[in-house]
Amino acid sequence: MPVQREHSASQGAKKTTSSQIAQVGQETLPVVVPPVASAPAAAPKTKSRRWMWAVGGVLVMGLAGLFYLQPWATPAPVVMVETVALGPVTRVLAVNGRIAGVRSVDVRPLVSGTLVEVLVAEGDIVTRNQALMQLDTATQQAVVRQAVAGLDAAFVAQDDAVATLARTRTLGANVARVVLETAVRAEQAAAQEVARMTALLDQAQIQLEKFTIRAPIPGTVLVLNVDPGQSVDPATVLLSIADLGTLVVETDVDESYATQIRTGQPAALQLSGEAEVRAGHVSFVSQRVDEDTGGLVVRLTPDAPLTAPIGLTVTANITVDDRASAITVPRAAIISDAAADAVLVAVDGTAQRRAVEVIDWPAARLIVTDGLAPGDEVIADATGLTDGQAIQVAP
């Protein structure tokens, strides 16, 4: 019975060795060996092969997509192109000018002095030689009186010399020859003194006249710059006068375009603050370029009478060239370098350089005189592109 208890205890244990069993009693019990678990049945090989084929197909398709898209390669840029075609072209030079009179002057005094009276106001219409202002003449009038006194004294001396010469001649042979010659010279000197003093009086009177400021031309008083009591000199601009009967537009043209401006060219004029565009033409082109500004003075005359304030800003478009048929391209399409001007033409998906001749002009489009033909596809913006580069033409 004790042996049976030990056997039951060995069944409750997790693991029992043969040595442990021998120690329980004298009788040796058979060793209980747990059965070996059989291996699971292998999965069907058909399903495994299908899975491998699916993975391989996905990998192949992915690699094919990579090689097709080539994300590591720089994509060809998309460009806009223009198909070259002949058409009418007008080359226009845009400038800004100001309204001015055909004749206008800044009036300055010819002498220094104190302004005592202003005889006109701004906006007055004046005639030629009309008195405009008066300077203080007190000092100059004293000079005139002195000249008058000197002339009177010269007349008295001349009368004495003439009388002396007459008496000497009446004496005839009783007068020494030296005395007669002296009387003649005295009469001549007296006459010369009269002439000198007369000239001094004339000069004093002319100078006195300069103290009255007169209008050099007929016109309208535009600006008054001085007030009574002010000291002025020949550098002071007293007022401005302009003939408003005919107005023009005065402007400066850059010397780069000076040789292309000629009288008679049409111009479109738009006054500041107006929507109306007035027709005009180039009426004067200076033959001298200002060395300081590099500008050439140009005057534009409206075709119809114009009424506007002097100095008003005017936008003018001067037509310097009008062609019935020409080729133009955007300025951005031109490549300018040391070699020559060129454009890029789209040919079979690549940008090909084409040398051209253009008329450089301040405009968004330039006239091409040589190098392109109708039907060529010119890339509208050649920035960043090179000859032979692959491109994509935008639809």
Query: What is the domain count for the chain?
Result: 4
Residues 266, 300, single domain; the answer is yes
**pLDDT of residue 5 exceeding 50:** no
Residues 112, 238, single domain; the answer is yes
The token duo for 133 is: 């202002």
Residues 289, 228, single domain; the answer is no
User: What pLDDT sits at residue 33?
Assistant: 52
Is 111 part of a structural domain of the chain? yes
Is 182 part of a structural domain of the chain? yes
Residues 316, 304, single domain; the answer is yes
CA distance 330 to 363: 9
Residues 240, 271, single domain; the answer is no
Give pTM, 2 decimals: 0.60
**pLDDT of residue 336 exceeding 90:** no
Residues 257, 345, single domain; the answer is yes
Is 284:100 a contact under the CB 8 Å cutoff? Answer: no
User: Where residue 19 falls among pLDDT bands split at 50, 70, 90?
Assistant: very low
Please calculate the CA angle 356-358-360 and round it to the nearest 5 degrees: 145
User: Where residue 307 falls among pLDDT bands split at 50, 70, 90?
Assistant: confident
Q: Which of 121, 95, 386 is nearest to 265 (CA)?
A: 95
| Residue pointed to by tokens 């005139």 | 144
Element (H, E) at 143: helix 138-171
Q: Which of 285, 365, 281, 379 is nearest to 328 (CA)?
A: 365
Residues 108, 147, single domain; the answer is no
User: What pLDDT sits at residue 13?
Assistant: 40
- CB atoms inside a 10 Å sphere around CB 284: 13
**pLDDT of residue 277 exceeding 90:** yes
Q: Which of 205, 228, 231 is nearest to 142 (CA)?
A: 205
Q: Residue 115 maps to which CATH number?
A: 2.40.50.100
CA distance 29 to 4: 11
Is 189 part of a structural domain of the chain? yes
| Residue at 55: amino acid letter | V
Would you call 158 helix, strand, or coil by DSSP?
helix
Residues 365, 274, single domain; the answer is yes
Is 336 part of a structural domain of the chain? yes
Q: Quote the domain boundaries for residue 9.
A: 1-34
Residues 2, 85, single domain; the answer is no
b/e for 217-242, b at 16 or more Cβ within 10 A?
bebbbbebebeeeeebeeebebbbbb
Is 141 part of a structural domain of the chain? yes
Residues 265, 297, single domain; the answer is yes
Is 84 part of a structural domain of the chain? yes
CA distance 291 to 313: 24
Edge-to-edge order in the sheet of strand 131-135: 212-214, 131-135, 113-118, 231-232
Q: Residue 310 maps to which CATH number?
A: 2.40.30.170
The token duo for 180 is: 């007669």
Give the β-pairing of 335-336 and 341-347: antiparallel
User: What pLDDT sits at residue 32?
Assistant: 52
Is 45 part of a structural domain of the chain? no
| Residue at 369: amino acid letter | T
Domain closes at, from 225, 244, 263: 244
What are the phi and psi torsion angles at 134 (to 5°)? -130, 130
Is 302:62 a contact under the CB 8 Å cutoff? Answer: no
Residues 178, 222, single domain; the answer is no
What percentage of the chain exceeds 70 in pLDDT?
Answer: 85
**Measured CA distances, 341 to 79, 287, 350, 380, 389 (Å):** 20, 32, 19, 15, 18
Residues 110, 229, single domain; the answer is yes
Q: Which of 206, 155, 164, 213 is nearest to 185 (CA)?
A: 164
**Measured CA distances, 125 to 103, 242, 255, 314 (Å):** 14, 10, 38, 25
The 10s digit of each residue's pLDDT in 63-101 is: 766 665 555 556 889 999 999 999 999 999 999 999 998
Is 112:264 a contact under the CB 8 Å cutoff? Answer: no
Is 285 part of a structural domain of the chain? yes
Radius of gyration of the chain (CA): 56
